[in-house]
């Protein structure tokens, strides 16, 4: 079985960040530096996630699912859903900058569209991955993700994933990581991440 812990943890982190954005908008804090920093990091993490899927993961799955029309159609849906999310990201970005009155509606639309996509992926695409990919295929994909992130990116990605996560989810995530990651996060990454103050979290 392929270990999809990090995939599920990433999805949870995306949902969490949009909840934080919605709360900030409702509390009229959307134009503060911590919220804007949180939003910028959210966009960055989602861009890396979706770009890696489109450029590396879905093509691998498509190759393994050749001759299976229903599965190939599912992969087309995954890519189409990514394309529908991008304009909503741009719309929220513009509304944040303009302090537009429609910002709450746009955030709700983005959250609903992204959540629908993530659920579709979890219910249909991730089981397909388990069915057609080998652990070597998955290792090649995750290795490519690590190359794209780099050590500097990992120093943000890892504490971002576990920010506010329940203890069981946090333990499961670190259990799926190479052993040095937990040490690096405890000694260096977590403190640096907290100092960024994303979403107005306490930097102390």
Handedness of CA 25, 29, 31, 32 (dihedral sign): negative
Average pLDDT over residues 32-57: 96
Residue 160 has pLDDT above 50, yes or no: yes
Six-digit token pair at 53? 């899927």
Mean of pLDDT over the chain: 95
Please write the tens of the pLDDT for every residue from 76-131.
999 999 999 999 999 999 999 999 999 999 999 999 999 999 999 999 999 999 99
Question: Does the structural domain 5-151 have CATH classification 1.10.10.10?
Answer: no
User: Could you tell me the pLDDT band of residue 188, with boundaries at 50, 70 and 90?
Assistant: very high
Query: Residue 133 CB: number of other CB atoms within 10 A?
Result: 20
Which of 37, 48, 42 has the alpha carbon at shortest distance from 16? 42
Determine the pLDDT at residue 61: 98
pTM, two decimals, is: 0.95
Rounded distance, CA 182 to CA 180, Å?
Answer: 6
In total, the chain counts a number of residues equal to 204
User: Could you tell me the pLDDT band of residue 203, with boundaries at 50, 70 and 90?
Assistant: very low
Average pLDDT over residues 3-25: 97
Handedness of CA 1, 56, 144, 172 (dihedral sign): negative
Backbone angles phi, psi at 78, to 5 degrees: -60, -45
């Amino acid at each position: 079985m392929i270990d999809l812990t990090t995939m599920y943890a990433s999805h949870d982190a995306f949902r969490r960040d949009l909840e934080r954005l919605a709360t900030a908008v409702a509390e009229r804090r959307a134009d503060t530096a911590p919220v804007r920093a949180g939003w910028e990091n959210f966009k960055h993490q989602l861009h890396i996630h979706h770009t890696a899927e489109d450029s590396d993961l879905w093509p691998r799955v498509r190759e393994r699912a050749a001759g299976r029309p229903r599965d190939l159609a599912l992969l087309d849906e995954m890519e189409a859903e990514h394309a529908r999310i991008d304009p909503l990201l741009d719309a929220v970005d513009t509304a944040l900058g303009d302090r537009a009155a429609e910002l709450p509606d746009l955030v709700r639309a983005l959250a609903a569209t992204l959540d629908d996509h993530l659920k579709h992926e979890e219910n249909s695409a991730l089981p397909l991955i388990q069915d057609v990919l080998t652990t070597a295929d998955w290792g090649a994909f995750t290795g490519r993700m690590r190359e794209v992130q780099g050590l500097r990116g990992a120093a943000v990605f890892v504490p971002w994933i576990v920010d506010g996560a329940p203890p069981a989810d946090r333990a499961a995530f670190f259990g799926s990581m190479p052993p040095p990651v937990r040490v690096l996060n405890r000694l260096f990454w977590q403190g640096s991440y907290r100092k960024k103050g994303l979403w107005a979290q306490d930097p102390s």
